[in-house]
């Protein structure tokens, strides 16, 4: 039997903290893994509304309202409203913890968010979550004053004068004092906030709830308050709009700055960072506000602190291959920081930074280089960390990324022309992993493909190293370019992918590695695979544009195997084809002419039916539709064409 929510509401009204804690513990246990409420019931109602009815309802009441149809939803709203009042009163720490955990579960339901999205509710959760520089909910809030009798909604018809009296002016002032006092208790003895335990959409938050019991109660309920606030911001557009006026962003920044100044290691910033990510992802004005408040500098320092970065020189981080892997908690915080940084810098690659910004971005790029070379306790987190690092690198101005290659060479370093290629090699291995993924290829591959392409254009040694790794001298001339498991084979397969953006990115990288030389590009990919990019660039004729970028000269020596088979390679397929018998062998000239006429008739029919469109090449190398009289100049009479079609169909029969 499920927990009676009506009874819990009555216990809250009576102030019976022990009974409230007992009942909410049961409710939380039952619903800890519930992220969608009454989905099956709502689907049934949707079916009933949409099906064809054989009668017209006599009144609107016959149709039924949402409240009538989903009494559980009404109860959850009433419970949330009662709890939002309850947590503002003087509660024992254990009771406050279980109440906030219930609110966190209820905040997952988008239909039950009404009690959460008032200014007073948002401010209360923020202050309980450790954001101290916030206005205290008081009489000045319009939405609070409009709720003349919250118990009328929370407790329905059972509301009495004593229930309404609970929200008298004196009690309201007492709750404001309680919030202030609660915030004071949230400090540890050393004056530092107890931090939040990390999690990701409750994925691991639920897993360690049993272990929360040994934590300081203040730390636990601060974590629950931040989880609930993250849910509210994510699920409610109204809450997102109110985040700016309520100064959530400055409050979060102040809290993060305090953690930087703290001598003790941060025991949990994950939910602070998660909330900051949601605010910057969902609200453009908050994105700009954080950027103007020197958010890039703040987050860079947080990232350094998270990864325990040590500097060898201005733009070179000390790298220790024997260092232990980054713990899971630090990896998750670093990922959140990278996501926030991307939100506020994604457009900077189009801008020309001034001297101060350029120094800041170079400093950040040096830290990102360190991120690419790190190892984590969880292998999945390594790829996720590298993925967000690549996203952020692609958002920074390209001229500020020279620090990725300015690191000294060490024993075991990858190098090209005396330049350290460890970072480039890490990017190459990351791309290879993503190439092996079968899902979300565009989302996972496009950033790294574009970034490597631009890096090859900008840095000669990067292009040389990647060409050695991706396009080594050809040896297996019997296989098509798309056959095999090398990186070149995988990229060539992408050149015919159904997603236009993805196949263009893959082709562009290979084209740049070939120094935008059409002959060399066809040699490594085959004309059939290369035709799409060549047509888009107007290079089908093989003559490149005069504005082609200037690339450095490097060797492209052919192997002995390639030189021997060069004349036998089919340029369309890119491999040596087996000798095929001549299909016209033994045919007379008249039979050959008739066969040609039949083929022309087929092409004419396909063209008239709009199945194909004959194209011709212009002088600039681009394709253009052929005019009607040019398409089939040899077909002078429509009657002859129709006769050819009939004869051909007879032969097929």
- From CA 488, how far away is CA 485, in angstroms rounded? 8
Q: Is residue 202 part of a domain?
A: no
Q: Is residue 105 part of a domain?
A: no
Q: Where are the beta strands (DSSP E) in 55-109?
A: none
Q: Is residue 470 part of a domain?
A: yes
Q: Is residue 95 part of a domain?
A: no
Residues 6 or more apart whose CB falls under 8 angstroms from that of 124 comprise: 84, 87, 88, 137, 179
DSSP string, 304-367: HHHHT--EEETTEE---TTSPPBPHHHHHHHHHHHHHHHHHHTTGGGS---HHHHHHHHHHHHH
Residues 6 or more apart whose CB falls under 8 angstroms from that of 621 comprise: 537, 538, 539, 540, 541, 543
CB 390 within 8 A of CB 448: yes
Residue 430, pLDDT score: 96
Cα→Cα distances 95→167, 215, 220, 378, Å: 20, 15, 12, 35
- From CA 621, how far away is CA 64, in angstroms rounded? 67
Q: How many CA atoms lie within 13 A of 647 on its CB side?
A: 12
Torsion of CA 104, 109, 111, 114, to 10 degrees: 10
Per-residue DSSP letter, 570? E
Residue 281, pLDDT score: 96
Q: How many CA atoms lie within 13 A of 323 on its CB side?
A: 16
Torsion of CA 299, 301, 307, 312, to 10 degrees: 140
Residue 44, pLDDT score: 54
Q: Is residue 358 part of a domain?
A: no
Range of the domain at 429: 422-545+558-576
611-653: per-residue pLDDT in tens?
888 877 777 767 778 764 454 444 444 445 555 555 545 554 4
Q: Is residue 565 part of a domain?
A: yes
In the structure encoding, which two tokens stand for residue 113, read together? 């968010």
Residue ranges of the chain with pLDDT lower than 70? 1, 38-69, 133-217, 263-268, 542-557, 560-562, 564, 567, 621, 627-653
In the structure encoding, which two tokens stand for residue 180, read together? 């202030």
241-277: per-residue pLDDT in tens?
999 999 999 999 999 999 888 766 666 589 999 999 9
Structural domains of the chain, count: 1
Determine how many CB atoms are found less than 10 A away from the CB of residue 197: 23
Q: Is residue 263 part of a domain?
A: no
Characterize 50-89 residue by residue with b for buried, 16 or more Cβ atoms within 10 angstroms of its Cβ, and e for exposed.
eeeeeeeeeeeeeeeeeeebbeebbbbbbbbbbbbbbbbb
- From CA 653, how far away is CA 647, in angstroms rounded? 10
Q: Is residue 528 part of a domain?
A: yes
In the structure encoding, which two tokens stand for residue 538, read together? 């107007």
304-327: per-residue pLDDT in tens?
999 999 998 888 998 887 889 999
Residue 539, pLDDT score: 82
Cα→Cα distances 369→308, 373, 398, Å: 14, 7, 14
- From CA 265, how far away is CA 133, in angstroms rounded? 22
- From CA 211, how far away is CA 219, in angstroms rounded? 13
Residue 527, pLDDT score: 87
- From CA 102, how far away is CA 29, in angstroms rounded? 10
Q: Report the Cα 192 to chain-centroid distance in Å.
A: 33
Least Cα distance to 155 among 229, 86, 96 occurs for 86
Helix (H) or strand (E) holding 443: helix 441-458
**Which SS3 state, helix, strand or coil, does residue 37 take?**
coil
């Amino acid at each position: 039997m499920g927990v009676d929510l009506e009874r819990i509401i009555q216990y809250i009204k009576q102030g019976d903290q022990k009974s409230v804690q007992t009942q909410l513990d049961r409710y939380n246990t039952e619903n800890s893994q519930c992220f969608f409420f009454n989905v099956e019931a709502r689907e049934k109602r949707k079916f009933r509304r949409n099906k064809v009815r054989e009668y017209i309802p006599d009144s609107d009441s016959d149709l039924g309202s949402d409240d009538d149809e989903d009494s559980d939803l009404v109860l959850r709203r009433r419970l949330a409203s009662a709890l939002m009042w309850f947590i503002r009163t003087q509660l024992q720490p254990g009771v406050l913890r279980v109440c906030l955990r219930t609110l966190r579960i209820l905040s997952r339901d988008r239909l039950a968010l009404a009690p959460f999205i008032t200014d007073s509710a948002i401010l209360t959760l923020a202050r309980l979550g450790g954001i101290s520089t916030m206005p205290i909910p008081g009489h000045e809030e319009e939405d609070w004053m409009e709720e003349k009798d919250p118990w009328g909604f929370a407790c329905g018809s059972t509301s009495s004068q004593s229930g309404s009296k609970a929200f008298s002016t004196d009690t309201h002032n007492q709750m404001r004092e309680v919030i202030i006092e609660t915030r004071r208790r949230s400090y540890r003895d050393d004056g530092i906030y107890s931090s939040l335990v990390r999690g990701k959409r409750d994925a691991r938050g639920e897993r360690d709830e049993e272990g929360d019991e040994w934590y300081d109660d203040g730390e636990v309920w601060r974590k629950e308050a931040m989880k609930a606030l993250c849910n509210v911001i994510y699920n409610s557009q109204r809450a997102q709009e109110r985040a700016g006026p309520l100064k959530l962003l400055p409050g979060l920044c102040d809290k993060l700055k305090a953690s930087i100044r703290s001598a003790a290691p941060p025991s949990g910033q994950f939910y602070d960072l998660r909330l900051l990510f949601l605010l910057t992802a969902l609200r453009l004005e908050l994105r700009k506000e954080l950027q103007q408040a020197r958010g890039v500098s703040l987050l860079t320092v947080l990232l350094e602190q998270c990864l325990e970065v040590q500097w060898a020189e201005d733009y070179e981080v000390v790298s220790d291959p024997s260092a232990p892997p980054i713990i899971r908690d630090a990896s998750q915080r670093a990922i959140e920081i990278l996501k926030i940084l991307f939100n506020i810098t994604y457009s900077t690659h189009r801008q020309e930074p001034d001297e101060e910004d350029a120094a800041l971005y170079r400093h950040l790029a040096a830290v990102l280089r360190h991120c690419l070379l790190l190892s984590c306790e969880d292998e999945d987190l390594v790829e996720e960390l590298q993925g967000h690092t690549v996203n952020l690198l692609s958002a920074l101005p390209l001229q500020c990324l020279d620090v990725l290659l300015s690191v000294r060479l060490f024993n075991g370093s990858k190098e090209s022309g005396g330049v350290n290629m460890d970072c480039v090699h890490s990017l190459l291995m990351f791309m290879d992993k993503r190439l092996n993924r079968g899902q979300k290829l565009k989302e996972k591959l496009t950033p790294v493909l574009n970034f490597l392409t631009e890096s090859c254009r900008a840095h000669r040694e990067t292009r040389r190293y990647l060409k050695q790794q991706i396009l080594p001298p050809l040896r297996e001339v019997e296989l098509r370019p798309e056959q095999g498991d090398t990186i070149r084979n995988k990229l060539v397969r992408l050149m015919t992918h159904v997603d236009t953006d993805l196949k263009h990115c893959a082709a562009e990288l290979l084209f740049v590695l070939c120094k935008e030389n059409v002959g060399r590009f066809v040699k490594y990919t085959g004309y059939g695979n290369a035709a799409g990019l060549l047509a888009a660039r107007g290079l089908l004729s093989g003559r490149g544009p005069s504005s082609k970028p200037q690339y450095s000269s490097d060797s492209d020596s052919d192997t002995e195997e390639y030189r021997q088979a060069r004349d036998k390679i089919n340029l369309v397929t890119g491999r040596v084809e087996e000798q095929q018998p001549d299909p016209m062998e033994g045919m007379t000239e008249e039979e050959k002419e008739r066969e040609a006429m039949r083929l022309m008739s087929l092409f004419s029919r396909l063209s008239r039916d709009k199945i194909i469109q004959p194209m011709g090449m212009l002088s600039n190398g681009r394709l253009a539709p052929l005019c009607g009289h040019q398409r089939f100049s040899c077909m002078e009479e429509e009657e002859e064409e129709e006769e050819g079609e009939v004869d051909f169909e007879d032969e097929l029969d």
